[in-house]
Amino acid sequence: MLSIQKQILEKLGICSDLSLLRVVLDGIPPRRDSKLLIKDLKVDEVPLRIYQPKQPPTGKRRGILYFHGGAGTFGSITFERICRYIAKKCSSVVVSVGYRLSPEHPYPGQYFDCLNATLYFMRNLEEYHVDPALIIISGDSCGANFATVICQILLNKRDLPKVRAQVLLYPGLQGLDFHLPSYQQNASVPLLFRKLVIYFCFRYLNKEPSVLEDVLQNCHVPESMKRKYKKWISADIIPDKFKIRGYVPQKSTSYKPEVHEAVKELLAITFSPLLAEDSIICQLPESYIVTCEFDVLRDDGLLYKKRLEDNGVQVTWYHSESGFHGILAFFGYGIFSFSSGKKIMDSTVNYINSL
């Protein structure tokens, strides 16, 4: 019934599925917070919302950049409750980045928006009383993907302060293998179904979903690429305890060059930072990674954790045994919140405060 109503609204030109989703997921604005100074500004047309504790600092504060999730096509700086919580509990300056959304602003523009916001903040730390040795780059879902890529890009910016840590909350980090155990086990688990991942990827990249089923079967990946990256992206690397719940190894599928050509962006380092070379990974900052058991993207986080550790990067890992993808979208909504989400946030705050 909802699908029929949506189609009627689209035909009338009232809204599309994407605009409806954006309205719903922007949530209810919270009340004013007497403990925070909140300022909105724009940097190169990108909206930023900056949260600062009102209480005068005893010294310089941490500076935390936050990139919201939403598959690059929805979400905004109204992701308030997470940012407010971190700013208050960590006595930190939090910069929420409202990168412009696809398809109106085509991929990979979101990365440039996040990078420009990051450069602005890092070049104006004095204005916000931020310690240049305590810059943290963070995000959830695709926002964690952006955070990962920005940390990799910043390795070449020798004139800027080094990032202290990256905080990645249930990140999506690769478009090479959609048959990892977590994709199979959680294919029909809300909020992010397996097919929905591919659908959102297509919307984000502004592609027609005509080859969606082929991509689900990994037909977009050349055999040479499968062999090259098997050492980093493979079910064989996932610990056995994560394969107990309904995992069946995938049968070999045939490569289809036309499918690869249609969605080759999925395999670019920008979209799939898990494919970055060891020479990049070994230089990355200390990392905090959250994974959720009931999340198709769980194994992306597990694989990145292993890659970082194999390259000598310190990783703090929090796994939510009952968590699901997008659980933090409900954080701060009272009876609609989940205790697992609160535990994720408290673990994240404890980590940030330990730096």
| Domain housing 188 | 1-354
Query: In total, how many domains does the chain have?
Result: 1
Q: Write out the catalytic residue numbers.
A: 141, 295, 325
C-alpha distances in angstroms, 93 versus 169, 174, 186, 334? Answer: 19, 30, 36, 25
> 312 — phi, psi (to 5°)?
80, 15
Cα 286-307-291 angle, rounded to 5 deg: 75
Query: Could you give the CA distance from residue 289 to residue 351 in angstroms, rounded to a whole number?
Result: 10
pLDDT at 275 > cutoff 90: yes
pLDDT at 1 > cutoff 90: no
* Mean per-residue pLDDT, 238-244: 95
State the pLDDT at residue 295.
98
Report the share of the chain in percent with pLDDT over 90.
Answer: 83
- The pTM (predicted TM-score) of the whole model is 0.92
* Mean per-residue pLDDT, 292-297: 98
Over residues 207-217, the pLDDT tens digits come to: 988 999 999 99
* Mean per-residue pLDDT, 337-341: 95
Report the share of the chain in percent with pLDDT over 70.
Answer: 91
**Lowest-confidence region among 6-10, 135-139, 175-179:** 6-10
C-alpha distances in angstroms, 112 versus 98, 100, 118, 276, 297? Answer: 12, 10, 10, 18, 24
State the pLDDT at residue 218.
97
* 318 neighbors 170 (Cβ within 8 angstroms): no
* 181 neighbors 145 (Cβ within 8 angstroms): no
Task: Please spell the DSSP secondary structure of 309-352, one letter per residue.
Answer: HHTT--EEEEEEEEEETTGGGGTT-GGGS-HHHHHHHHHHHHHH
Please choose, from the candidates 119, 11, 151, the residue with its C-alpha nearest in 3D space to the C-alpha of residue 3: 11
Query: What is the CATH classification number for the domain harbouring 71?
Result: 3.40.50.1820
